[in-house]
Structure 1
Amino acid sequence: MAKHFARIIVYGAQSVGRAFIKAIRQEIEASRAAASHHQMIKNKSTGHDLTLKGMSLNEALQILNVKDLSSIEEIRGNYEHLFRANEKATGGSFYIQSKVFRAKERIDRELFNKMQEAMKEAPTETIKES
């Protein structure tokens, strides 16, 4: 009787072990699939929505509370106000201040890229006019 009971315990433990290993393999496979899916989505966000320090242009515009890149003075004013309002000395949040700084940095990068594109197109326009 004890011999049969021991076999039942051994077979039960083997079954549970196999099921556990199968579940772990499925979880690893799902994790790999999710990672490749995430990488595919990340690669799609190239082009106009390039990220700098993990921040999209839309997010930067929202943080600085501006609609578009046309008003540089509004961007600068909102940046200075939010940066000063979140200084640690005045009880502000360093995290939010960092977000404001990164948003301004992202917008500056976008403005720089647009300026470079305009400079590349400028010589071709003057040649066409001649």
Structure 2
Amino acid sequence: MAARFIAQLVVMGSGLLIRAFAQAYRKALQTDASKTGAAQEAMQNTVRRASKAITEQEARQILGVTENAAWEDILKKYDILFERNAKQGSFYLQSKVHRAKECLEAVYQNKGQGPSTGSTG
């Protein structure tokens, strides 16, 4: 019984040491990266990747609309898909639906057919 207790203490203690070491290592990397400017570069790369826009064709496929669809039809599809994914879907799919609507909104605004600048759907 004592051996089991000692073994549990050793396992718990080593787990704590490993977590503390990992936390200290991450902190050291952050400090070093901020001194060399690598942190700023990594942040800029992350922002660039996140801001990559989808194409009009991808947006139309996501929302399931054709090229000659009216803006109102696009909004209806958007509302249905966005709400469906909000209730029982995934946040990833919900964000894709939102990005698709944003893309098509810009396309329709450029054509002069789309929503006014104050409308977000």
How high is the TM-score relative to the length of structure 2?
Answer: 0.48
TM-score by length of 1: 0.45
